[in-house]
Amino acid sequence: MSWQDISGVPRLTATADLIDARRPVSPDGIPWWEAPWIAPDLFDAVFGTGDDVWWLADPTLYTKITDGGRIEGACAPVHPLIPRHMSEIEEVAPRLVGPLDPDNPDGVTRNAFGVCLGERVGVFLTGRCRPRDLADHLLSFVSLRAEGFARPLFLRFWDPSVALVLAEANADRPARLARFLTPADGRPLRLFAEAEPGKIALIRPPEVSTPAPGPPDLDAIELAAFGRAERIRFLRTTVSWLLEAFGGDPTSRDHMEAVAAAQLAPLADIGITTEYAVNFALAGLYLLRRDLAGLDADGRAVLMAKDEPQDARAQAFLAWAEQRAARPRAALEPERSDA
């Protein structure tokens, strides 16, 4: 597979109903409090059942996206989810906000369905459960043991991308997914998470007679799914930078991600593994329109120089590739992807 070969490449997608989350455009001059604060289809899906609605969100991201706003300013009750053995994460621990009032939406509710959509700030949950019981149930999933790890892992399931991967990994294991969506009182929850720009995925609780007891350890299937999702997120960030810095056809983005993904293992075999080094090595290969196997001896000598740290090797390789291709980059380096 080459950089020039443009063909369809499958991508990870959520197994869920998709709902239009795009708000209507407000007429000029309308006061903000009269402007539409939620997409009509999304309002019907989230609030139409009459169930309580909560927002589970990252307070740090909320403050960043809203230019200094604080989730604690919500009119609805706010419950921090802080594991007892992880008191040091208080500032970044997720906040459960709700039940939300659709008839009198405050600033936090408007932001949740407005500027925060598309920014991976949080997910929505609907159901009938006492807020404290729901908070305790969700808290039990924040820190989980995992196969092959000595210490518990911090599971950021309030990040929509993480929630969707968790749902997909257990699509064929309904009892396991039901465990996450069923609090102790036995009444299941629905989960709403951003799946793609302008779309919200509705994850329905599986119909099972008895959910598996929880919370569970993360197993190999879930860990592999998270690994794939993290790789996809990293590759999307890298390809966005390649297109911005070196040009190219944006319609080839899917294919470029697949080509870049195919280079990760060969690069790891020669000791190129850090995010910085991988990005610069991929940039050099992109400029040359080559994969690692097709690189000539001069290029391999630069990229595999002995006694040089991998970041230095990759940076030198990109400089060499720029000279060879006579196409200098427009930006110094890509944004770091979230871990």
Q: Does 338 have pLDDT greater than 80?
A: no
pLDDT at 129: 86
Mean pLDDT of 111-119: 89
pLDDT at 83: 72
Neighbours of 62 (CB within 10 A): 26
Mean pLDDT of 3-20: 49
Q: Write out pLDDT tens, residues 26-52.
A: 666 666 666 688 888 999 999 999 999
Classify residue 130: in a domain, yes or no. Answer: yes
SS3 106: coil
pLDDT at 4: 44
Indicate the residue among 217, 242, 273 that finishes a domain: 217
Q: Are residues 114 and 255 in the same domain?
A: no
Q: Does 332 have pLDDT greater than 50?
A: no
Neighbours of 154 (CB within 10 A): 13
Mean pLDDT of 81-100: 76
Classify residue 119: in a domain, yes or no. Answer: yes
Query: What is the pLDDT of the chain when averaged over all its residues?
Result: 81
Residue 149 sits in which domain range? 17-217
Classify residue 109: in a domain, yes or no. Answer: yes
Q: Are residues 213 and 283 in the same domain?
A: no
Q: Are residues 254 and 174 in the same domain?
A: no
Cα 216 to its chain centre, rounded Å, is: 22
Classify residue 294: in a domain, yes or no. Answer: yes
pTM for the full model?
A: 0.70
pLDDT at 258: 83
Classify residue 7: in a domain, yes or no. Answer: no
Highest mean pLDDT among 5-9, 73-77, 121-125, 302-306: 121-125
From 117, 116, 115, 121, select the one nearest 58 (Cα to Cα).
Answer: 121
Q: Are residues 173 and 308 in the same domain?
A: no
Classify residue 41: in a domain, yes or no. Answer: yes
Classify residue 265: in a domain, yes or no. Answer: yes
Residues 112 and 37 sit within 8 Å (Cβ to Cβ): no
In whole angstroms, give the CA distance from residue 176 to residue 178: 5
pLDDT at 214: 63
56 - beta bridge partners?
96, 123
Indicate the residue among 181, 198, 217 that finishes a domain: 217
Q: Are residues 193 and 142 in the same domain?
A: yes
Q: Which two tokens stand for residue 302?
A: 């630069």
Mean pLDDT of 222-246: 81
Task: Provide the Cα torsion 193, 124, 65, 87; round to 10°.
Answer: -110
Classify residue 211: in a domain, yes or no. Answer: yes
Residue 14 burial class via C-beta count within 10 angstroms: exposed 0-12, middle 13-18, buried 19 and up: buried
Indicate the residue among 171, 188, 217 that finishes a domain: 217
pLDDT at 313: 92
Q: Are residues 246 and 311 in the same domain?
A: yes
Q: Does 100 have pLDDT greater than 90?
A: yes
Instruction: Classify residue 25 by its DSSP letter.
Output: P
Number of domains in the chain: 2
Q: Write out pLDDT tens, residues 167-225.
A: 888 888 888 888 888 887 768 889 999 888 888 999 888 877 666 666 677 888 888 88
Q: Are residues 276 and 174 in the same domain?
A: no
Q: Are residues 77 and 126 in the same domain?
A: yes
